[in-house]
Amino acid sequence: MAGVDSIQRQVTTPEGTGTSIPQVDIRPTRPRPPKAFYWNGLHPSQLAAGDRWKNRKLCTYCNNPLFPANFGRTPRICGGCEQVTYCSMKCQLADERLHQIVCELFTTFIRTSPRPSSAHKITLLIPEDSDVPAFLWLRYTQYHHFDVPDLETVLGDDYPATMEDSILHRLHISHMYMQPFDLDHQVCYWYRDGHKEDGSVVNQCLAMITKVPMDKMTFRGPLLIASSAATHWSARGVYRDFGLEDFRVVYDYFRIYHSDSQKPLGIRYSVGEGKPVMGVRLTCLGDQRLFKDHVYVPVKLPLGHSIYHPELYHHDEITLAVPNLLELPLLFDRHLPEYDNLSEAETRHMSEDREYFENRQFLPLTVDVDPYSPGWGKVYRRDNGRFTYSVSLVRADKKDLTIFHAQAIIAFCSEFLIPAMQRQHKHLAASGMSSREMIAFRESFKREMICRARFERWLATYRDQKALAFPVLALELSPYEV
């Protein structure tokens, strides 16, 4: 009997004679597809969770696995871009209108625009004031094991704050019942954080792509879309060239998500608006050892960054008094780097290195110069004598802080000021001065030794010494001339 399993069972008849009577098990048996149907020729239950996503080929339109050629149905590949594959002529024709929007654009872009560097990857720009999308090379800066996109003016000349979101993440959270694709990677997109209030117009190109009427399309401002090799939102930051097969994903997703009623689920890529200001990151020992990070790393921080709002975080116990007295006030914030995509050996190294998060460059800036303080001449101590994590530094006047300027201020504290204070402390302790006389001496030291005039004289000597090894430093401007 088709569709059921027939079994034999030994029974005893009323007459007492044993007879083999055929019995029928009426439980239906689900027909199993041929072995070649499954990815890698194996049933999904035979694959490890991670292996299910490796090397599988899906139809761009219906998202079903492609049948191999020996199964009687040859996959169809677009002859123009050679980037998208279909399981049948029916699927290829159904996707023809949408694919034609980007097929020729992509081939022309690849032919006429060579890759500027290995740090650049193809991204898709959906402008707000055009009917035609565009491809561009977006530059990424690699930090540890993930990439940071350079979005300064891509979404507007006003250096807007941006939000990053993931189609896979949002579908899993809010639209699981509408998900047409079993995505095996991330499709990420960036948009202006204040696109609803900053005067951005309704995205005309997105309305054209999705066939959503302009009076119902509420998404404003440009969109930048990238493909990611990551399979989980928590492991973001591993980007690759935008794949044309993801354009169908973009189309289906934004037909669902184009309304102001949707709540943002992504992460804020930059936390403020305004042209970025140059600052310096002081890296911890572990990042220097494990990732070969430089001790001083230039960073760009927008004017609205939280570092300019110290009231938002708690560093009340740490003060940078010396830069203030030098008329070069500095602001700082702990830089908590993400440690995604680490290998097992790297993770073990982090846990075993007791000095991993120690930051020795930052400590001299915290020297206590209060004449009334019992800690006069000492630096801030915490966490068993170590200041942890990397630190970002910027100037409070929102002017650029160069690496040379940061090095000079730190060297002034560590090589000149702290040794001088320690010598004076020993002298005062041996002199038998009264507390009042000691405080008066410290106040005099503070006025004469920690001031702009003293620092400028010291800086001239410091720059001349450094210029012997690095002649270009002779051209460095004083931080007061920036």
438 near 431, Cβ under 8 Å? no
254 near 224, Cβ under 8 Å? no
Q: Give the tokens for residue 78.
A: 């677009």
Average pLDDT score over residue span 43-65: 53
- The larger pLDDT score, comparing residue 42 to residue 412, is at 412
pLDDT in tens, 301-311: 877 677 877 66
Q: Which residues contact 55 (CB under 8 A, 6 or more apart)?
A: 39, 40
Strand partners of residue 138: 121
Indicate the helix (H) or strand (E) that contains 89: helix 89-94
Q: Which residues contact 83 (CB under 8 A, 6 or more apart)?
A: 106, 243, 244, 245
Q: pLDDT band for position 1 (50/70/90)?
A: very low
* CA separation for the pair 192, 222 (Å, rounded): 7
Q: How confident is the model at residue 314, as a pLDDT?
A: 52
Residue 324 has pLDDT above 90, yes or no: yes
- The larger pLDDT score, comparing residue 259 to residue 3, is at 259
Q: What percent of the chain is predicted at pLDDT more than 70?
A: 73
217 near 202, Cβ under 8 Å? yes
Residue 456 has pLDDT above 90, yes or no: yes
In Å, what is the CA distance from 129 to each residue of 134, 195, 201, 206, 253? 12, 14, 8, 10, 21
* CA separation for the pair 481, 354 (Å, rounded): 41
pLDDT in tens, 77-88: 888 888 888 888
Q: How confident is the model at residue 370, as a pLDDT?
A: 92
190 near 227, Cβ under 8 Å? no
In Å, what is the CA distance from 199 to each residue of 204, 221, 304? 14, 9, 19
Q: What is the rounded end-to-end Cα distance, in angstroms, of the chain?
A: 89
Q: Give the tokens for residue 104.
A: 């020729």
- The larger pLDDT score, comparing residue 156 to residue 447, is at 447
Q: pLDDT band for position 406 (50/70/90)?
A: very high
Strand partners of residue 419: none
Average pLDDT score over residue span 231-245: 73
Q: How confident is the model at residue 88, as a pLDDT?
A: 86
Q: Where are the alpha helices (DSSP H) in 291-369?
A: 321-325, 344-352
Q: pLDDT band for position 67 (50/70/90)?
A: low
Q: Which of 393, 458, 398 is nearest to 276 (CA)?
A: 398
pLDDT in tens, 215-237: 888 788 899 999 887 665 555 56
Q: How confident is the model at residue 9, as a pLDDT?
A: 37
Axis-axis angle for helices 435-449, 418-431 (nearest 10):
160
Q: 163-176 burial, b if ≥16 CB within 10 A, otherwise e?
A: bbbbbbbbbeeeee
Half-sphere exposure of 462 (CA within 13 A, CB side): 22
Residue 341 has pLDDT above 80, yes or no: no
Q: pLDDT band for position 474 (50/70/90)?
A: confident
Phi-psi region of 292 (alpha: psi -120 to 50; beta: other; left: phi over 0): left
Classify residue 271 by its DSSP letter: S
Q: Give the tokens for residue 459.
A: 């800086």
Residue 29 has pLDDT above 70, yes or no: no
Residue 265 has pLDDT above 80, yes or no: no
Question: 3-state class of 402 per DSSP?
Answer: coil
Average pLDDT score over residue span 460-472: 90
Q: How confident is the model at residue 313, as a pLDDT?
A: 58
Axis-axis angle for helices 452-469, 403-411 (nearest 10):
120
Residue 56 has pLDDT above 90, yes or no: no
Residue 48 has pLDDT above 50, yes or no: no
Average pLDDT score over residue span 52-62: 62
Q: Which of 402, 404, 384 is nearest to 278 (CA)?
A: 402
Q: How confident is the model at residue 104, as a pLDDT?
A: 93
Average pLDDT score over residue span 100-123: 92
Q: How confident is the model at residue 276, as a pLDDT?
A: 80
Residue 296 has pLDDT above 90, yes or no: yes
Phi-psi region of 282 (alpha: psi -120 to 50; beta: other; left: phi over 0): beta
Our separate counts of H helices and E strands in the chain read 12, 16
Q: Give the tokens for residue 273.
A: 């608006």
